[in-house]
A and B are shown apart, each in its own frame.
Chain A
Amino acid sequence: MEKEIILETIDIKKSFMVGKGREITVLEDINLKIYSNEFVSILGQSGAGKSTLLRIIAGLVEPTEGQVLYKGVPLKKANAKIAVVFQSFALFPWFTVLENVKVGLVGIGLNEEEIHEKAIKAIDLVGLDGFEDAYPRELSGGMRQRVGIARALAVEPELLLMDEPFSALDVLTADNLRGDIIDLWKEGKMPAKAIVLVTHNIEEALSMSSRAVVLTHNPGKIKAEIPLELPYPRDRNSRDFKFLLDKIYTILIKSPEEIPFLLAAGRYQFLPHAKVGAIAGLIELVHDKGGRVDIYALSSELSMEVDDIFPLIEASVILDFGEVREGDFILTEKGKNWAEADTLEKKEIFKDSALQNVQLIKQIMQVLSTISKHRVSEEFFIDILKNHFTPEEAWNQLETAIDWGRYAELFAYDYDAGELYLEEPSTIDM
């Protein structure tokens, strides 16, 4: 089949202004081509800007720099030929299934019969016949997302965009719906010429799409594009599948060598949102398993999603408790010691490691020990962090640092006053 470029992004950059003229870059240097008959998945951790990228492609968000070309023409607004399926389904609870599906057809200039016919066709396509008059609240999550898909397909889009469409569903329901979509796709029943799927689930991308675009986070950049040519239905236990899984896992986790490089480039170290308790759980588990595990095997054993397990692994890497090689997570000597230590020793090891490796904790300690009353409002640090992160992320960063600092007994936090303080200022010397 001939390959036609449906959509193209050229040097897309998206950044947000945060106070005092500083800006935070979410996406950078995004050059992406979507061809006809292609099922592209955009993979990345949360915060990698993949949903923002999807919204730029949909014409919902304007890029700060660069442009989107739809069939060679710059895309300015939402285009009737591009439909979106949303993570939260975004159905109108006050409309029936049929009315929800008709929603996109009203403004096109069709008459009532045509609208009805197209809506019914789309409902049949996703297997919802018989539920036309049901209200969304009467349906299960999987059926609701089917309505969302039918609504998008009813307008017969050329490009179908899906934003984490299965992540609000339970495992079995999600699998079932994925299977149905792949069937429609390969049987050519999809009205759309191309599909773009945004997901953080590597397995999902591998089992569904024909190309995976891997985004790294902070800032979101395309790190790799991997063609997926395995025949459908894809066997998750096959060697090829597992090889690709490992490959993508390794790409997705930032190597420790990258961190000093980022720091040198003036970027603030990003703390993964991981609680100490969870990090300890992971390290001890890996230690019990001999100090080296396959990340994919681990995540399926713990039935944890990438979004849950990656922050733990990244935190371990930052703290020098572990490293990632070829899709495996390996404990360092320090990590092994930490796993074996008793409660008090654990705190000591963690404290040393955090003071050595965590920029934010270092900074907090410096400020707290220089100020005479050894007490500083959280707002002070938030203001610093806001120069590097979105306001929401700034709070996440500080929350993580407080959790780590409290555990290490480096500093304490007064929730009511919103202040960080040193408990025994004299014993700390920086």
Chain B
Amino acid sequence: MRDVAVVGFAQSPQVRETTGTTNGVEMLVPIFAEVLSGLGLTKGDIGFWCSGSSDYLAGRAFSFISAIDAIGPVPPINESHVEADGAWALFEAWVKIQTGEVDTALVYGFGKSSAGNLRRTLALQLDPYVLAPLYPDSLAVAGLQARLGIESGAWSEREMAEVAVRSRRDAETNPNAQVAGSKDVDELLAQPYVANPLRRHDCAPVTDGASVIVLAAEERAHELVERPAWITGIAHAIDSAHLGARDLTTSPSTVIATQRAGGIDGVEVAELYTPFTHQELILRRDLGLGADVRITPSGGALAGNPMFAGGLIRIGEAARQIHSGNASRTLAHATGGPALQQNLVCVMEGRD
């Protein structure tokens, strides 16, 4: 296996609504420039480009092809796309580097959720025969999951609110966050339900945004940054699409992905992609993340949730903890599908 590291990361502000097109070009042009100039690279230095986005979200066909204009792909480039969060595009890029064909890759994800009705659009990712025709929206599916945990005693509405309070407090130091500010738990619990038993603070906000990561192999990574975030393990796994057959209070696929990615030993920071408060509680419990592990210091998806960029942001934020010397070993998690159906885990370390 080749050693591959995250060497660069940039993201757009996570905002409720942008005026741009759903092709992401307006959000991508500035962050490509930021990440490449930060590393002293130009587009010609990138061996492979890979993106994550969704035509359903964009409300048009081949939106990811229009997005490629942001690269300036003349002469032709080596490029691919996944209809999934950019974290899965990063997985593909990592595999591409493993083949030895390229030494560098630029991975990006983007989504303009504000163009449509996000919670309804997400119903269309469900089983097309027995679920999607009913349009069960994303808040409804998460609400069913949250109640199962509450009524089985696995977690409480108060613990869920505590997750939101911590997220908003952490987001105060994240200049890109959309939702920040201190509120206390009782204040949050006094708010009405939006999808009983979920309150607004339990749900990630609707967010437009984009993110980008540069990967580099071996010597190339050393040349580009002082302290690369070496990927020591990366894996993804998926649970059944049959929502009613899953135990929704657990996340077996996250556990499998974490084991395959090398486990949590020595992990100091975990950036978890949990668009609902109770989902963080599931992951902390299932992965055995104790009080010694700092959870999602960026504020996470509850502070801003650009679809198809949010999982990639978790990897970028976890890598940044290593770049800055704040941590030596970090874990990033990304999710896709309903109720934590598909999960990716990436473990990174700094080497002195």
Note whether A and B form a binding pair. no
**What is A's interface to B at a CB cutoff of 8 Å?**
none
The interface of chain B, by Cβ under 8 A from chain A, is none
